Amino acid sequence: MNALALKLLLLTEVRLRMRRTGTLVAVLALIVLTWLMVGDPAGSQVMLVVDNVRVAYTSSCLALGSAGLGGLFFGLAGLAFTSRAAA
Is 66 in contact with 73 (CB distance < 8 Å)?
Answer: no
Contacts of 66 (CB under 8 A, 6+ apart): 34, 37, 38, 47
What mean pLDDT, rounded, does the chain reach?
81
CA 82, CA 14: separation in Å to the nearest integer?
Answer: 28
Q: What is the pLDDT of residue 13?
A: 85
Domain boundaries, the chain: 1-37, 39-87
**Phi, psi of 54, rounded to the nearest 5 degrees:** -65, 140
34-46: per-residue pLDDT in tens?
787 777 778 777 7
Q: What is the pTM of this model?
A: 0.51
Instruction: Look at the chain and count its residues.
Output: 87
Q: What is the pLDDT of residue 52?
A: 86
> Counting beta carbons within 10 angstroms of the beta carbon of residue 79, is it exposed (0 to 12), middle (13 to 18) or buried (19 or more)?
exposed
Average pLDDT of the segment spanning 67-73: 83
Average pLDDT of the segment spanning 31-58: 80
Q: What is the pLDDT of residue 47?
A: 76
Within 10 angstroms of residue 65's Cβ, the number of other Cβ atoms is: 19
